[in-house]
Amino acid sequence: GKGIATSAGVLIALTPWGFLMALLAFLIATSISRYVSLGSIMAGIVLPVAVWGRAEPKPILYICILMGTMAVIKHRTNIGRIIAGQEPRIGGAKSKGEGEKTCR
């Protein structure tokens, strides 16, 4: 959540093209799978490839490789939950107790 959003802000400044390609990958993967974490992982994979393909300066490429790698590493537990079928999907049913907060 917060890490990906912060990274997006940095990417807009460093490489608008890389940001757009990562955003496109995120939107496509998330809309097909309905897993936000899968969209984040795909964005992390596409980002350095897109930046490399545009022949951006090497320091920007290295930063994007680091950012993409961190996105995948940070979502490794989500990968396990996706494989196990336990990762919540966008628009999926809420688990018991979720959303039952009341004011007292």
Percentage, residues of the chain above pLDDT 90: 66
Q: Number of folded domains in the chain? A: 1
User: What integer pLDDT is reported at residue 94 of this predicted model?
Assistant: 57
Q: Does residue 103 lie within any of the structural domains?
A: no
Instruction: Tell me the three-class secondary structure of 53-76, residue by residue.
Output: HCCCCHHHHHHHHHHHHHHHHHCH
Mean pLDDT of all residues in 95-104: 48
User: What integer pLDDT is reported at residue 97 of this predicted model?
Assistant: 47
Distances (CA, A) of 50 to 17, 35, 53, 68: 8, 22, 5, 11
Tell if the pTM clears 0.95, that is, is over it: no
Residue type, 24: L
Q: Does residue 58 lie within any of the structural domains?
A: yes
**What range defines the domain where residue 42 resides?**
2-84
Using the predicted structure, report yes or no on whether residue 78 has a pLDDT greater than 80: yes
Could you identify the residue written with the tokens 């079928």?
Answer: 85
- Confidence tier at 102 by pLDDT (50, 70, 90): very low
Q: How far apart are CA 13 and CA 19, in angstroms?
A: 9
Q: How far apart are CA 15 and CA 69, in angstroms?
A: 17
Indicate the SS3 state at residue 36. helix
Using the predicted structure, report yes or no on whether residue 75 has a pLDDT greater than 80: yes
Distances (CA, A) of 70 to 81, 94, 95: 18, 29, 29
